[in-house]
Amino acid sequence: MNTVLILLIGIPLIEIYLFIKIGSQIGAFNTVLLIITTAIVGVAYARYEGFNTLKSGIGQIVKNELPVYEIISGATLAFAAFLLILPGFATDAVGIVLIIPFTRKIFLNKLVKKNKNNYENKKKNNNFIEGEYEDINENDDKKI
């Protein structure tokens, strides 16, 4: 809960600060033009990468394999396009990093490795006793 609150307050503050700093350097009109340009170019490139991911996913399905990476990559591309549509320089920077295939692959590999470690730690911390059991019926011992 605290992280969400910090993000909801922190991200707009960072964006406003960057608007003021960059706007004072290049001017208000150029700042607005840059924001609109990054949104248009970013969404167009996200669409291009999305079609490439879709094509790769269809190739995986044709090979009768589950396109796990393509599904995760598609979700990441949708999030990156959302970040690029939002006005701001910090969100645009994160969106561009997520759209580029090389950096997206690095990010997803680190995310998978982190989740795998968390899963293994949770699995080790469970207090289960493994064993076998045999159902014994008392009526089988008596012969009628």
For residue 93 the two structure tokens come to: 């920077």
pLDDT of 39-57, one tens digit each?
Answer: 898 889 888 988 988 898 8
Cα–Cα separations (whole angstroms), residue 59 to 46, 63, 67, 75: 20, 6, 9, 18
Tell me, what's the pLDDT at 62?
A: 92
Check residue 18 and give its pLDDT: 92
Q: Is 82 exposed, middle or buried (0-12, 13-18, 19+ CB in 10 A)?
A: middle
Those residues whose C-beta lies under 8 Å from the C-beta of residue 11, and which sit 6 or more positions away, are 88, 90, 91
Q: Are 49 and 77 contacting, i.e. CB atoms less than 8 angstroms apart?
A: yes
Token digits for 57?
A: 């996913």
Mean pLDDT of 118-144: 66
Q: Give the global pTM.
A: 0.71
Listed by start position, the domains of the chain span 8-122
